[in-house]
A and B are shown apart, each in its own frame.
Chain A
């Protein structure tokens, strides 16, 4: 072979490199189809696909279950083993991404169908966006949907009321309290009005306890308190959605009244509460030095690991007079299970979701993770879940903070509460928040 034939000519090589460059530039265009300005909504979303009822035959094929709860991996491994035993020709793998990365990277993969034949979403903005993008295949025709509490799975519905996903976890985003400490302080029953709640805080303080451990330095957890502070102050159950829509303002009287109540609570939070994060407060609560931990039932497991032996109950500040109180507490139904409309292997994914919906399997998940579930007839054997199971029947409101689908707006609203505790006047804090809302609202 001649030398000329065996070596690549520079011209041919440059052509090759040019092709690579052109390919790169073209591939840069891969992504959304860009429509011109004024050509209608660019985010209209795909038509929802409704899955036929799940078959009776055992599942075959592989399921990629995408979620963010690394702490639940062991429990899911147990459940997967049971699933595979019942469906020997099927496999399930967990694709776990940290919750921070879930939105930014994992969801892109789910959209592309590379992972997540079965997947989950947070309630609120994430579910809304994923459903709008057509990622959820409709579950309305599935008989196992009837095995869920209908009221608790509304968060998995599209605006058309079609059941797209199934909120699986049920948490109570309201303060937890040390029942022994309350008893020792002579508090026989939880207060049913605002004056009673302030009196409770004063009693706890007089006994040398921190009445309310509140992680004001950590936006994600400090924002949980707004759920119960707002539930009876809001003029309508959708008031936070109305703020985002622009039909209500945080400078309205009801919101200012709530901010003033935050101001009243300030002496009952730990000192410098706006700089405290949740971990040291969990320790404070677990050691019996705080009466309440103002985060949610999802922290009961953590404080138990820190050595808390006392019975733990749930308590929400009732911010109005007893006869005006509409709600007793807050719940959130999240971890919204779904079957990917984009991927293949939907039958097996559907069987997996059906499997998780079985009360026996849901009980394994609930008791293993110390969280209630939205499935009916679940036998809770975990002492804390049993202890607080009565809350499943109480008058509770779906956590309103997740009505905000714009996270900047939510952050601004919640920051107003923190600012008030930090010393800013309610009017000033509200005005600052409203300015951000006005800019971010579209």
Chain B
């Protein structure tokens, strides 16, 4: 029995009514009602971003206490005070920079290392990925409580273990040590988010064509050379995302700090976001609004500098 194959007929393409044939005009011009589609998103954006930002700018040049029906215009006084006469803000900024550096460096390195080892979709890799990703799904408050007990100098896990193995000379007051406190919180932050960044890297690593590695192997490249000259450049876009995200996250680690350090946190744990919150709690809405604007500008600047730096090392990013 023979079967005659007939060529498949092309799918029917819908034809536009003659009055709506393409005429070089954009669809938006042809259908003005399409302009309505962005309206819900626009309303949300204006309501929850544009208006609060404008309000923030307006309040930042006043001495409003958050309660009174009137506020006095103070010009740039709030900004001048922030930059010239506020040790608490400077301290918070300094803490935040230390925190950010530790988090950005270690979170980026650890997440990349984990991703490299767990890229293959084997059962064990998938299971380990889930384990490393798990902390990310916890709430910041839960993470803070877990680590609060780990760091407790008398009853906490670390000092207890050090004591049990005879290394009590390495015991620490952890969050009670003003010189170290912010670094201990940074370690918690790295533990909290490294799994999330690992996933971004794994997505990036899985996009790298295997042929590149095969060619490199043929050319006799070592594992390190392959990593250095193929993996690293190819995951540069993922690195840019991880670093930008981690930076912003470092400046907004508000809930973790409050969970670990209490409210208000002591000065050794105070970062910019908690400082701003203290301003609002202290009924200094005008001043806190000015701090918020400086905060926004700082994050934007640091992210921009970071992006330029990544771009300088890899122009394709």
Contact = CB atoms under 8 A, between A and B. Distances in A.
Nearest to A43: B68
A-side interface size class: 35 or more
A428 interface: no
A237 interface: no
A355 B173 CA distance: 49
A159 interface: no
A272 B46 contact: no
B65 interface: yes
Contacts, number: 193
A232 interface: no
A390 interface: no
Interface in A108-129: 108, 111, 125, 129
Contacts of A277: 148, 152, 262
Given A219-B262, A276-B154, A10 B73 contact: no
Contact of A42 (B33, B54, B68, B173): B68
Interface in A301-351: none
B72 A39 contact: yes
A218 interface: yes
Contacts of B265: 219
Interface stretch (B3-11, B212-220, B275-283): B275-283
A407 B72 contact: no
Given A31-B58, A219-B262, A407 B281 contact: yes
Interface string B63-88: 11111111111110000000001111
A21 interface: yes
Contacts of A280: 149, 152, 154-155
A100 B258 contact: yes
Contacts of B277: 104
B43 interface: yes
B154 to A, nearest CB: 5
Interface in B104-128: none
A42 B175 contact: no
Contacts of A418: 266
Nearest to A11: B32
Interface string A22-40: 0011011101111111010
B237 interface: no
Contacts of A103: 280-281, 283
A107 interface: yes
Given A17-B39, A280-B149, 14 more contacts: A7-B33, A10-B32, A32-B62, A32-B69, A33-B70, A34-B72, A35-B70, A42-B72, A44-B70, A133-B65, A133-B67, A272-B171, A275-B152, A277-B152
Interface of A: 7-10, 13-14, 17, 20-21, 24-25, 27-29, 31-37, 39, 41-46, 100, 103-104, 107-108, 111, 125, 129-130, 132-133, 135, 216-221, 270-277, 279-280, 283-284, 406-408, 411, 415, 418-419, 422, 435-436, 439-440
23 contacts: A8-B33, A8-B35, A20-B46, A24-B50, A28-B51, A31-B71, A37-B72, A43-B67, A43-B71, A100-B258, A103-B283, A104-B277, A129-B65, A217-B175, A217-B176, A272-B153, A272-B172, A272-B173, A407-B281, A411-B264, A435-B87, A439-B85, A439-B88
